[in-house]
Each structure stands twice: as C-alpha cells, then as structure tokens.
Amino acid sequence: MDILFTNISNSIALFVKYHRYYLRGTGITLLVSFFGVFLGVFLGLILALMNLSKNKILKGISRSYINFVRGTPLLVQVFIVYYGLPLVGFDFMPDLWLVVIAVSFNSAAYVAEIVRGGIQSVEKGQTEAARSLGMTQRMAMRYVIIPQALKNILPALGNEFVILIKESAIISVVGIHDLMYQTDTIRGISYRPFSPLVFAAIIYFIITFSLSRLLNVFERRLRAGDQSI
Amino acid sequence: MIKVSNLNKSFDKLHVLKGIDEEITQGEVVVVIGPSGSGKSTFLRCLNLLEHPTGGEIVFEGIPITDEKNDINKQRAKMGMVFQQFNLFPHMTVLENITISPIKVKGLPKIEAENIAFKLLKRVGLYDKADSYPSQLSGGQKQRIAIARALAMEPDVMLFDEPTSSLDPEMVGEVLDVMKELASEGMTMVVVTHEMGFAKEVGDRVLFMDDGIIVEQGTPKELFENPQHPRTKDFLSKIL
C-alpha cells in the first residue's frame, strides 16, 4: 500500500513539475487538430462536389484521392508530406504548417465522404423544386442542397475533430512538439517511462470526452430548434 | 404554347412514353388522367425537362427546349411546377421560400420580391404564415405555399404533378380552390390528377393516358360521359 501511495504522490509531483510541457503540448495538439479539420472541411467540400459532379475526370481524381488516403496509414502520409513537400519547393514552410497540411489532407478524404453522404441524404425533390424554379445546378446546390446537407453533417464533422485530436499524436514522430512529443520528453528527462503516459492519456481523454459531450448538447439544441420536417 | 411531337422516354429497358403528340394552347387547362404507371407524371416532368426525353421534340413559346444547346433554366423560370410532395425548402421561412428564386434567378430586389410574395400569400390565404417554417404548416398549407412559390416567378404555364395526392382528404378542397381560382384567371395549366371532380369542373380538355400513349382526349363532358375507347371506359368504370 505504501509503495502505491508513494508512487502516486511522486507522479503527481512529477505532473506539477512538468505541467508546462503538457500545457504547451496540448496547445499544439489542439491547434493542429483544429486547423486540420478546418482546412479538411474546406478541401473535403471541394472533393465531395468533384465526386458528385458529372465530369468523369473530376470524379476520377476525387475518388482516387479519397481511396488512396483512406487506404494508407496516416503515419505514412505525414512522412510523405513532411519530407515530400520541401522537396518540391515548399522548403520555406515551417514544420507546423507541414503537419497541419498533412493532417488536413488526410481529414479531407474522410470529410469528403461525410459531405457526400450529407448531400445525398437531401431529398431529390429539393433539387427538382429548385431547378423547376429556374435555378441553375450551382444555385440549387448553394442555396438549397448544401445548407441542408451541412446541418445534417455537423455532428459527424464534430466527431471528425475528436478523431483528429487522437490521431494527431502521430505527428510527434516528425518532431512536432505536440502533447505526445512533450510526454516523451518528460519520460526522458525524468527517467520515468510510465506515469507521464498516464497523464497524457488522461489529458487526451478529458479533451475528447468533454468535446463530444459539448457536441451532444449542440446537436440536441440543433434538433430542438430544428424547423425541418 | 407548348408543342410536343413524338415524345419518347425510356428508363433503361422500360419504355415509359411511346410517342406523344400534343399541343397546349395559351389559357388552356389540360387535365391528364390515367392509371398509375401510365406515364402521365413522366409526361408532365418532360415538359420542363426534369426528365430528359429520349426522343422527340418539345417546343415552348417557339423555342425547341429539347435542343441540346438550349439553356433550359430560362424556360423553367417561366414554367411553374407543383409537386405531389410539396418540396418546400425546409431550412427557409415561407417568405424566403417564395422570394429566393425571384431574387436569385430573376435578380429582383428583395423588397420587390417580398411585395410579390405578400400579394401571393394573401391570395392563397396564408398572409400570416410568412415567417413560419414549412414544418409548422399542414399539408394543405404547404401545397398552397408551393403554388405561391411557383407563381412568384410569374410563369406563363403551371404544371401540377398530382398536387392533392399526398394530402389528407379534408385538405384537398383548399388546394383545389386555389387551383380553380388560378384557372379562372386564365392561367395555362397542365394538371396530372386523380381528382375527377376537378377535371370535370375546371378542365378545358382531358387527356386519358395509358401505357405510355394518349389513348383518348376530349372535353370533360365528352370523355367522362361518352368515352370511346374500351381502356378509357374500363378506367372510368373503376374510379367513378
């Protein structure tokens, strides 16, 4: 019992001592995830529209991209972007940008599938009504279909954010000082291989759990005020 | 106003419209009846190219709209359509539903579009619903709004695709009343419906369709009281 107690109190002391590392790491993790999703939604929307377009070439590009990204590990993608982009002229980019791009390229493929599902879930009659009023396909998308689709997919997008927060731990392998990287640093300098990881896990859990709770509340609000159908 | 010649439509192997010739003139109310699966809705949906014909030609106000180079959006703006399922935009208020197209397609200033919308709302008896959302309306109210939305584009012809078929019986009347009023004002209308009472009362001409062709047509009196074709007789005997 005494050993357990000592261990716990030592660990807490360790956390207090190194809490700045955790704090900084958490900041970077949130930053990368947030911008990853943000850019991912933007790219994903474009990919989804390409995927749904009648143009076979656009559709082909989008489908291949989505399939490639979904069929390869994020770790590989991060390496490819991190080492590849500087080789093709993006060597001016700070490391942080590179990983944000890598993460958002990855996220875009998943978001594209979410958006496609959202757009396809809007009834066909909506497009027909819009077109029958003289709207072009583009107008119908913009004013009628996408607003309804976005509302349908907001929960899924929030979920994607939560997933990215966890998955982004991978960027520590290229030396980005995110939560995982900082945890490793603490393990090194404190000669304690185990307890820093527990705190990292706790922090990841607190963020993702409270975020999904928040999203639940948000989703319920959305439903309560839902004027549609 | 609308001239249809040798209209054909196939869905893969299913031949739905088998050569339809028809002319709809200005101010006419044409009612299309027939058993389900006879192609009457497809016929109507071909008129504004919601379905693309696989053969034949449709000329609207002198313009061959089936021509590939034609920009159908211009003609669609002059052809109002009312659907069985209303298809109101659920994320917009009633007022927005009615004004979106005049504003975005015709480029009307918002104020002007809203003036038109309020006049139409008064006409369909739903002036007080301008700020409601479609989900807050009954079926009959939704359909009246859908009619107002189509009218806001000031169309030359109105197409009705079974406008009362998904309504509760007690709400059919209010929608038909709006349609009757519209007809009496001289609007050109093509109406696919199962409401024989409406066909008799309002129709200038009734088309009976079966199996992808117009089997028989005439004034309501001719068609309902003295049908010539055995298929027409058979259909009428089942529903009257």
Which chain B residue is nearest to residue A135, measuring alpha carbons? B105
Q: How far apart are CA B21 and CA B12, in angstroms?
A: 22
CA distance B230 to chain A (A): 36
List the structure tokens of A101.
């791009």
B9 backbone dihedrals φ, ψ, rounded to 5° = -145, 125
Kindly give the residue spans of alpha helices, DSSP state H, lying in B105-219.
Answer: 110-123, 139-151, 169-184, 196-202
Residue A178, sorted as left (phi over 0), alpha (psi -120 to 50) or beta, turns out to be: beta
Residue B138, sorted as left (phi over 0), alpha (psi -120 to 50) or beta, turns out to be: beta
* A13 part of contact set with chain B, CB < 8 Å: no
Which chain A residue is nearest to residue B131, measuring alpha carbons? A227
Q: How far apart are CA A81 and CA A63, in angstroms?
A: 20
Give the structural domain span for A123.
Answer: 2-228
Strand B205-210 to strand B213-218: parallel, antiparallel, or no bridges (unpaired)?
A: antiparallel
pTM for the whole structure: 0.83
Instruction: List, as own/partner pairs, every contact residues B132-137 make where C-beta atoms lie below 8 angstroms and the sequence separation is at least 24, other chains included.
Output: B132/B93, B132/B94, B133/A227, B133/A228, B133/B90, B133/B92, B133/B93, B133/B94, B134/A227, B134/A228, B134/B86, B134/B88, B134/B89, B134/B90, B134/B92, B134/B94, B134/B97, B135/A226, B135/A227, B135/A228, B135/A229, B135/B90, B136/A227, B137/B94
**Residue A200 DSSP code:** H
Q: C-alpha angle B2/B3/B6, rounded to 5°? A: 140
Q: How far is CA A166 from CA A41, A140, A172, A219, in A?
A: 18, 37, 12, 21
Q: Taking CB atoms and an 8 Å limit, are B153 and A134 in contact across chains?
A: yes
**Whether the Cβ atoms of residue B160 and residue B30 lie closer than 8 Å to each other:** no
Q: Taking CB atoms and an 8 Å limit, are B149 and A133 in contact across chains?
A: yes
Nearest to A129 among B83, B105, B106 (CB): B83
Residue of A132, A136, A222 to mutate when probing chain B, most B C-beta within 10 A: A132
List the structure tokens of B107.
């480029």
pLDDT, position A228: 46
Other Cβ atoms less than 10 A from the Cβ of A123: the count is: 15
Q: How many CA atoms lie within 13 A of A117 on its CB side?
A: 12
Q: Taking CB atoms and an 8 Å limit, are A227 and B136 in contact across chains?
A: yes
Q: Taking CB atoms and an 8 Å limit, are A129 and B77 in contact across chains?
A: no
Residue with structure tokens 């704090």?
A: A23
Q: How far is CA B108 from CA A16, A22, A40, B116, B156, in A?
A: 65, 57, 36, 10, 18
List the structure tokens of A37.
């999703």
Q: How far apart are CA A196 and CA A204, in angstroms?
A: 12
**Whether the Cβ atoms of residue B215 and residue B21 lie closer than 8 Å to each other:** no
Q: Tell me: the pLDDT tens digits for B189-238? A: 999 999 999 999 999 999 999 999 999 999 999 999 999 999 999 999 98
**Whether the Cβ atoms of residue A196 and residue A202 lie closer than 8 Å to each other:** no
Residue B160: strand pairing partners:
B82, B191
Report the SS3 class of residue B143.
Answer: helix
pLDDT, position B77: 94
List the structure tokens of A108.
């875009």
List the structure tokens of B46.
């071909």
Q: Tell me: the pLDDT tens digits for B47-92? A: 999 999 999 999 999 999 999 899 999 999 999 999 999 999 999 9
Q: How far apart are CA A199 and CA B182, in angstroms?
A: 72
| pLDDT tens for each residue of chain A, 229 residues long | 788 888 889 889 999 999 999 999 999 999 999 999 999 999 999 999 999 988 999 999 999 999 999 999 999 999 999 999 999 988 898 999 999 999 999 999 999 999 999 999 999 999 999 999 999 999 999 999 999 998 888 888 888 989 999 999 999 999 999 999 999 999 999 999 999 999 999 999 999 999 999 988 888 877 765 554 4
* A136 part of contact set with chain B, CB < 8 Å: yes
pLDDT, position A1: 73
CA distance B199 to chain A (A): 24
pLDDT, position A229: 43
- In chain B, what is the straight-line distance between the N-terminal and C-terminal CA atoms, in Å? 32
pLDDT, position A226: 57
Q: Taking CB atoms and an 8 Å limit, are B83 and A123 in contact across chains?
A: no
pLDDT, position A224: 63
pLDDT, position A222: 72
CATH of the domain at A161: 1.10.3720.10
Q: How far is CA B45 from CA A65, B80, B83, B190, in A?
A: 37, 11, 10, 11
pLDDT, position A150: 85
Which chain A residue is nearest to residue B133, measuring alpha carbons? A227
Nearest to A227 among B85, B133, B146 (CB): B133
Q: How far apart are CA B186 and CA B27, in angstroms?
A: 5
How many folded domains does chain A comprise?
A: 1
* Residues ≥6 apart with Cβ < 8 Å to B177: none
* A147 part of contact set with chain B, CB < 8 Å: yes
Contacts of B150 in chain A (CB under 8 A): 132-133
Provide the CA A158 distance to its chain's centre, in angstroms. Answer: 9
Provide the CA B33 distance to its chain's centre, in angstroms. Answer: 13
